[in-house]
Amino acid sequence: MQKIKRQFRRVLVLVAASAVWQMKLLAAQAPATALAQAQASLSVDTRTVNLPALEQAQQRRIDSLRTLVEANLTPDKARVVLLTELARALKLRQVKEARPVLEEAVRLARQLERHDLMAETLLDLADHHISLANYRLAERYLQDAQREFAITNDLGGEVRCLGRLALVADQQGQYAASLAYCYQGMAKATTSNTRRFHTSLKIQAGNTFIKLGDYEHADEYLHEALAVAQHHDYPDRINLALGGLGDVARRQKLWAMARRYYLQSMAVSQRLGLAPEVLAMQLNLAELDERQGNYAAALALGHPVLRQSVAVGQLLAIPRALGLLAWASLRLGRPDSAIHYGKRSLRASQAVRSKEGARAANEVLALAYAARKDFAQAYTASSGRKAYNDSLLNEATTNRTAALRLNFELGQQQNQIKLLTQQARLQAQQRELDRLRQQTQLIGFVGISLLALLLAGFFFWRFRQRQAARETALRTALAADLRDDVGTLLRQISLQSNLLQEGLADAAGQRLQINRLSDASRTAVRQLNDVVWSLDAQNDYLTDLLTRMRDYGHEVLCPRTIELDFTLPTDLPVYRLHARLRRNLYLIYKESLQNILKHAQAVSRVTVCVRLEGPQLILDIVDNGQRGANGPSAASGRNQKGLATIHERATAIGGAATMGPVLAANGTVTGYGVRVAVPLPQQLAQGSPQAATTRSVTKKG
């Protein structure tokens, strides 16, 4: 049961811790209209700010956090978060009360070995010591926190540490060092994790420039910080920027503008529940009243500010509040009160090592003692004022010189950075131009490639279409040849077979029919072989065609006892012929031989001569047939019967064919000849396995 209770209590604590963090985020992320609401509330009397209500709300939050811390005794992250939140709440009520809680949070974070928790708790402890003007301890804790943030790669945390170091240097009068820290922090990369803290650095730089009397730079940094805070909705930076702008206006004696800025800042801080910032703005307004001669108003506002500053432990605000009361009392003719507050202001200033506060306190004391005719005390106070004044003048001279040197060096660095930036920009532009040029070239190359591919695809498609058309025409021609030649032969074979089956002829007639049947069968087989040969892609070379022509000549001439003289040129190149040229040339050759067999008389020799003349192939087919009884009419008949078909085939392949009798020197006819000239392909076939040979073949059947 106890275990269940502990677990339930632990869950309750974690839920409460989550709620605390959500409250913190809500407080830091106030509406972007905070400045507008502050401007709308300028008519409110700021002297009636309900500080007790803020104190009551703070006390309720402190009690709630104490309950959660006491309920969660487990050393874990949730307890560290609760202790940190409790310390921040206690700091708003009384700064010194937060120290033991913060130290416990630091010890627990170290025990857990959580670098992120250690960094945050060390930063809070440094803030505590800054509020108490313990600058040496604050610097030590800030350096430790900066190392922890570097370990966790928290760039925003490092920027925050630099901002705190700048504040410590500023409060000690080391303005050049303060600006150096600000510039170092602003030089880091601006990200979503650092933008808010860069804004704080600009506000700090503006406040430092105010103390140096450089109101132009102060106004520039503060307005830039205000613009960023308004754009990104940082209300806890808006109030600080407005307060800084109020200081700039007050230093320039623009009282109305300063009051307006202070009122706006106080309204934003009051809505965020930031009591220290509210007190600071009330103190500024009281000092404005005193400078404008509203001494009674200054006293009326200064007394509650002093009480509240003492109550919450705002050590830096106490000397200013006491000095304000001293000056207002003196102006109202109350030197005793002025001396009382002046002495207290001097002691408080010395406690926080504020030379400006000590000088102002000595000055009001000198005037107050003089008003009481106590010139010895007045001289002592005046001497103290002079000593502090000389020290401040020396420090001001040193700080201004250091600041001017720093600004000069920073200006040189910025000019160098601008030059490098311009060079980098030019290089980047050049790289961009190169990239665009490369991109344009790539796009052009891709476009040309696509166009080339499209054209190649189109031409390939056209080629395939033409090839398909050629193949279709070839098939149609082959089918026609088979139908005409082989079909006729098959019909003859069928007819002869039927006659043999009837047995009507005598023995001699049957032998004749059998011979005709045999001739028709051989012719049909030869025709089919020609078709198969013409379809075989391995027979595309010129040497294959000539070999086939020679073999065909032997097949048809030798049975008729006709001698064939087939002559080829020497070193015949290797040509690859397309199917149409190969087929038509072969058919021309067959047609010529068939004409010789059918129409020539007393033929004993056929001469076939192949030669090359430039890009053309010349084919001569000559027989030694004798003139018949019909005289020249027989030769003319042969010419007319064969010329039409041969000429048509030769024209189809871009060539020409001629026919006619062969005349001897004495004018007598010695035979009949056919000459065909056809163009060959432009390019030679490379790597062909066919060998070019020179032949002169003569065979007699």
CA distance 198 to 205: 10
**pLDDT given at position 71:** 85
| Mean pLDDT, the chain, integer | 80
The pTM for the full model equals: 0.53
Which segment of 50-54, 388-392, 658-662, 678-682 scores lowest on mean pLDDT? Answer: 50-54
CA-closest candidate to residue 258, choices 270, 243, 269, 268: 243
Residues 87-113, mean pLDDT to the nearest whole number: 84
> Predicted confidence band at 394 (pLDDT cuts at 50, 70, 90)?
confident
**C-beta of residue 388 within 8 angstroms of C-beta of residue 362:** yes
Residue 311: phi, psi to the nearest 5?
Answer: -65, -40
Strand 669-679 to 656-663 pairing: antiparallel
Task: State the Cα–Cα distance between residues 549 and 539, nearest whole angstrom.
Answer: 12
Domain-wise residue ranges, the chain: 540-699
**CATH fold for the domain made of 540-699:** Heat Shock Protein 90 (3.30.565)
- What integer is the mean pLDDT of 83-104? 83
Amino acid at the residue 182:
C
Is pLDDT of 130 > 70?
yes
The answer on pLDDT for 133 being more than 50 is yes
* Rounded distance between C-alpha atoms, residue 262 and residue 241, angstroms: 10
301-312 in b/e form (b: 16+ CB < 10 A) is bbebbbebbbeb
Q: Using DSSP, state whether 504 is helix, strand or coil.
A: coil
Helix axis angle for 98-112 and 115-131, nearest 10°, is: 160
Q: pLDDT category, 355, cuts 50, 70, 90? A: confident
Give the total residue count for the chain.
701
Residues 6+ apart with CB under 8 A from 522: none
- Residue 98's pLDDT is 84
pLDDT at 159 exceeding the cut of 80: yes
- Kindly report, residue by residue over 617-675, the tens digit of the pLDDT: 999 999 988 645 444 444 444 445 567 888 888 898 899 999 888 888 787 888 889 99
Binned at pLDDT 50, 70 and 90, residue 238 comes out as very high
Q: How does residue 340 score in pLDDT terms, banded at 50, 70 and 90? A: very high
The pLDDT of residue 375 is above 70: yes
User: Between 642 and 59, whose confidence is greater?
Assistant: 59
Instruction: Using the structure block, give the residue that is written with the tokens 């009551």.
Output: 56
CB atoms within 10 A of CB 457: 10
Angle at 642 between CA 638 and CA 648, to 5 degrees: 155
- Is pLDDT at 134 greater than 70 in this prediction? yes
Contact 528, 486 (CB under 8 A): yes
What is the Cα–Cα distance from 144 to 404, expressed in whole angstroms?
Answer: 31
Tracing tokens 């060959």 back to the chain, one arrives at 680
State how far the Cα of 622 lies from the Cα of 217, in Å rounded to an integer. Answer: 116
Structure tokens at 151: 């370990």
Under 8 Å between Cβ of 530 and 510: no
| More confident position, 535 or 161 | 161
- Mean pLDDT within 125-150: 89
* Helices (H), ranges, 94-194: 98-112, 115-131, 135-151, 155-171, 175-186
Q: Lowest-pLDDT range, 49-63, 120-134, 183-197, 277-291?
A: 49-63
Give the other-Cβ count within 10 Å of 429's Cβ.
10
310 has a pLDDT exceeding 50: yes
Over 194-211, what HEC string results? CHHHHHHHHHHHHHHHHH
Distances (CA, A) of 125 to 92, 530, 582, 620: 14, 109, 104, 118
When pLDDT is averaged across residues 45-62 and rounded to a whole number, the result is: 65
pLDDT of residue 47: 46
The residue assigned the tokens 């800042």 is: 265
DSSP assignments along 122-133, one per residue: HHHHHHHHHHTT
Distance CA 336, CA 193 (A): 54
Q: What percent of the chain has pLDDT over 70?
A: 79
Cite the DSSP H helix spans in 313-354: 317-331, 335-351
Q: Which of 132, 102, 583 is nearest to 317 (CA)?
A: 132
